[in-house]
Amino acid sequence: LLKGLVSLVLAVILAIVVLIVVVVLFNKILSVVTAFIGSLVVLVALGQMGVILPYFAKLAILVILTILGSIVQFKT
């Protein structure tokens, strides 16, 4: 009985810590997600304009634009 109670208390404490971390980092997570989506929109627009890029170039553009977008959003 005591072993089950201790594990329950530890689970509740861990859940509270995870909740606090998610609440604190939510703004940063949201910034990265919006920067990533913006990068995807740019790549789709390039494809619609007829620009043919190899897979590696698309991945490089995606990563660079996501990093730059995240930096801009974190500074504002």
Q: Can you tell me the distance from the alpha carbon of 56 to that of 26, in angstroms, rounded to the nearest whole number?
A: 30
Task: Tell me what the mean pLDDT of segment 29-49 comes to.
Answer: 90
52 domain residue, yes or no:
yes
Question: Looking at the 3D structure of the chain, how many domains does it have?
Answer: 1
18 domain residue, yes or no:
no
Whole-model pTM: value is 0.65
The answer to whether the CB of 63 falls within 8 A of the CB of 25 is no
Which pLDDT does position 64 carry in this prediction?
92
16 domain residue, yes or no:
no
Higher pLDDT residue, 5 or 39? 39
Q: Can you tell me the distance from the alpha carbon of 68 to that of 42, in angstroms, rounded to the nearest whole number?
A: 13
What's the domain range around 57? 25-76
50: DSSP letter: T
Total Cβ atoms within 10 A of residue 57: 13
73 domain residue, yes or no:
yes
Which pLDDT does position 1 carry in this prediction?
63
20 domain residue, yes or no:
no
pLDDT above 70 for 11:
yes
